[in-house]
């Protein structure tokens, strides 16, 4: 009976532990899902959502700065997502900034180089306005810490309408000026003034057309500016140490032999020097003997 009771108690304990572990795993998974959903909600905004039935025309932009676990991997993930949803990357600047570099000699011929650096990337992307919110939520999966996110939706409906009306008025003025030039322009000065006015009017109309095309492009494709960074990274690498200049000198025996050779070369040079001066030496000796001979007399 006691043995049966012990076995039952043991089995109950094991079942309780297994249930607790499963519950803990479930709770942690649930918390992770909740955190991911919260992050996605925090970075998203109604300003990024395109309403198809709306008559307003919005230029939508987003500016987001955040920390990731690995800048390079997150960059590839974001670029792939942008391409998947029909967008394109217009600018990317991936770089490493070195904060400190220390060299420590660990042996006679080895040096440990420790480099502290951080990786960052500034990215500018253009995405279809209907996919802006979707791409922002996809980018949210890469965020480890959000510094800020700014999403703007500027209504340019009135500006577009004003440009269109200005184009119509300009077109009417162009025709009137052309007719006036053809029918009433008699004097050269009047014709020149009318031609200049017509050219200015056409230039103004062209500027309105270009401005409308630019705004329409910004409406169709939203611009997202991203700043990615990660924690400071430490890289250590063992390199061949730089030897002292004395280590490259030959041993004492070789230095003595080289010194003897150098001395012999110097002696040869001195002998050759005096041999080259033999006429002067001969004159000095001759003068000495003549001096002694005539001085005594």
Q: Is the pLDDT of residue 10 over 60?
A: no
End-to-end CA distance of the chain: 154
Looking only at the bridges linking them, the beta strands covering 145-155 and 88-105 are unpaired
Checking DSSP bridges between strand 110-128 and strand 221-229, what pairing results, if any?
A: antiparallel
**What angle separates helix 157-184 from helix 188-220, to the nearest 10 degrees?**
160
Confidence of residue 190 (pLDDT cuts 50, 70, 90): low
* % pLDDT > 70, the chain: 66
**Per-residue confidence (pLDDT) for residue 32, from 0 to 100:** 45
Residue 179 has what pLDDT?
Answer: 63
Which residues, listed in sequence order, are joined to residue 104 by a DSSP beta bridge?
Answer: 112
- Decide which of 297 and 88 is more confident: 88
CB under 8 Å to 249, separation ≥6 — which residues? 255
* Cα gap 94→229, rounded to integer Å: 10
For residue 82, give both structure tokens: 């942008």
Q: What share of the chain is helix, strand, coil (3-state, %, to 5)?
A: 60, 25, 15
Range of lowest pLDDT (14-23, 114-123, 172-181, 283-292): 14-23
Nearest to 86 by CA among 123, 139, 135: 135
Residue 24 pLDDT grade (very low, low, confident, very high; cuts 50, 70, 90):
very low
Find out whether 170 and 200 touch, Cβ atoms under 8 Å: no
pLDDT tens digit sequence for 71-87: 999 999 999 999 999 99
pTM of the model: 0.59
């Amino acid at each position: 009976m006691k043995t049966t009771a012990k076995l039952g108690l043991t089995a109950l304990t094991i079942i309780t532990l297994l249930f607790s572990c499963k519950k803990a795993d479930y709770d942690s998974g649930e918390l992770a899902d909740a955190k991911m959903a919260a992050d996605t909600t925090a970075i998203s905004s109604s300003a990024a959502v395109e309403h198809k039935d709306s008559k307003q025309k919005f230029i939508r932009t987003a500016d987001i700065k955040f920390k990731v676990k690995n800048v390079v991997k997150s960059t590839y993930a974001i670029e792939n997502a942008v391409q998947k949803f029909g967008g394109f990357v217009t600018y990317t600047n991936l770089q490493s900034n070195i904060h400190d570099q220390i060299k420590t000699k660990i042996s006679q011929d080895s040096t440990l180089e420790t480099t502290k650096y951080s990786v960052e990337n500034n990215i500018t992307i253009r995405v279809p306005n209907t996919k802006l919110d979707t791409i922002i939520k996809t980018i949210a999966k890469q965020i480890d810490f959000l510094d800020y996110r700014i999403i703007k939706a500027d209504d340019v409906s009135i500006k577009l309408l004003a440009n269109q009306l200005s184009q119509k008025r300009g077109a009417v003025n162009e025709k009137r000026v052309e007719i006036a030039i053809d029918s009433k322009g008699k004097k050269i000065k009047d014709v020149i003034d009318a031609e200049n006015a017509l050219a200015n009017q056409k230039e103004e109309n062209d500027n309105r057309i270009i401005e409308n095309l630019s705004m329409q492009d910004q409406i169709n494709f939203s611009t997202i500016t991203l700043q990615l960074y990660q924690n400071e990274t430490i890289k250590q690498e063992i390199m061949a140490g730089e030897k002292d200049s004395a280590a490259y000198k030959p041993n004492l025996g070789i230095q003595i032999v080289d010194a003897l050779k150098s001395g012999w070369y110097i002696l040869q040079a001195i002998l050759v020097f005096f041999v080259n001066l033999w006429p002067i030496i001969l004159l000095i000796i001759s003068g000495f003997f003549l001096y002694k001979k005539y001085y005594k007399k």
